[in-house]
Amino acid sequence: MKTARRIALLAASLLPVAAGAARAEGLSAGVWPRNPFAFTLSDEIFTAPEAPRFETAARIAGDGLATIGADLADIFTFPMRDPGAFAAYALGVGALVLIDRPTTIAYQETLVPLGKRINLPPLVDMSGWPINVSVDEQYVGAAVAGTWAYGVLANDERAQVAAMLSAKAFGYSYLTSHVLLKAAFGRNRPVPGLRGHRGPVGDYTTSPFDFFNAPGINLSSVTAGTGMPSFHFTMYYSTARVYAGVYDNWLVPYALATALALQSAEGHHHWVSDMVAGALIGTGIGNVVLSNYQDRRRERLGTLTPVVSSKGAGVLYQLRF
């Protein structure tokens, strides 16, 4: 039991690296927001569509590229910036690992059968392709591409920002959850039909404490040692968080993210803690890209600073390029 407890807490300890990497408006760095779903982009950073559409698109793309370094730094330095929140999330996910067997059995017997009834058809037949893009990845990608196309054609800055930040969130989700954290934890996925399973397990497992089996870093999808965290849940909730923050509407993005997660439940084979960890990481990633983009836009728009001297009072306007 001592070994199981140690493994569970170790596995949980790294998850909030990305999950907590968020800064909310009005909060200093190193403080986890009381409501990590509340942050939205300020209307002041969206300008009237006076510039030609491709000039607007180029500016938005440039601002997005300019914040990549800050995004990655915020994601991976969260434990040092806010150790209190890091510890809280580590303990929370560690507790979920300890009860993963009964909760995952309940998930397999209730939500997985429901998800089978709403499976979506693929947008592109990937058979014969050198890479495999899952059905839910296809739908998320199509939604982001469609948002961007509409934004450019209509010269809608908000839509272009939503698409650009979502694309970044998708990429960060892949880097953190799929490439790095899966390899770090090496957790085996639960067998389908976990309750009462008998016989060989292959690349799966019946124990929630079966960690450190990763075959190394994998850019494609493999089964063995790739359970924690769920990349797809990271992707669902990072993009949902971006759309919620850009449009100040959480209901529609999160409802769609949950529907995507449910329809593909049969094929993911995750422990419940894997999915919760992925959702937390995605939420943190979404907060990072929203916050850093807003900071960038405010710097570009300029700042007003009161100036008081013996000769009078005034306002200093600073504009950065």
- Residues in a beta bridge with 265: none
Q: Which residues have a Cβ under 8 Å from the Cβ of 243 and sit 6 or more positions away? A: 162, 166, 249, 252, 253
Token pair for 134: 């899952």
Domain that holds residue 101: 2-318
Q: Do residues 268 and 177 lie in contact, with contact meaning Cβ atoms separated by under 8 Å?
A: no
Prediction pTM value? 0.81
- DSSP single-letter state for residue 311: T
d(CA 79, CA 31) in angstroms, rounded, equals 11
Q: Do residues 237 and 257 lie in contact, with contact meaning Cβ atoms separated by under 8 Å?
A: yes
3-state secondary structure of 31: coil
DSSP per-residue string spanning 174-208? IIIIIIIIHHHH-PPPBPSS-TT--S--TT-BS-T
- Amino acid 298: pLDDT: 85
How many domains are there within the chain? 1
Token pair for 200: 């060989």
Q: Per-residue pLDDT tens, the chain, 321 aa: give them.
A: 433 443 343 343 334 333 333 343 333 343 345 566 678 888 888 876 667 778 888 989 999 999 999 999 999 987 787 788 778 888 899 999 999 999 999 999 999 988 878 778 888 887 777 677 888 889 999 999 999 999 999 999 999 999 999 999 999 999 999 999 999 999 999 999 899 888 778 889 999 999 999 878 877 778 888 999 999 999 999 999 999 999 999 899 999 999 888 887 877 789 999 999 999 899 889 999 999 999 998 887 644 334 444 555 443 334 444
d(CA 260, CA 266) in angstroms, rounded, equals 12
Q: Do residues 234 and 279 lie in contact, with contact meaning Cβ atoms separated by under 8 Å?
A: yes
Token pair for 131: 């890479």
Q: Do residues 18 and 78 lie in contact, with contact meaning Cβ atoms separated by under 8 Å?
A: yes
Of 38, 305, 54, 278, nearest in space to 160 by CA: 54
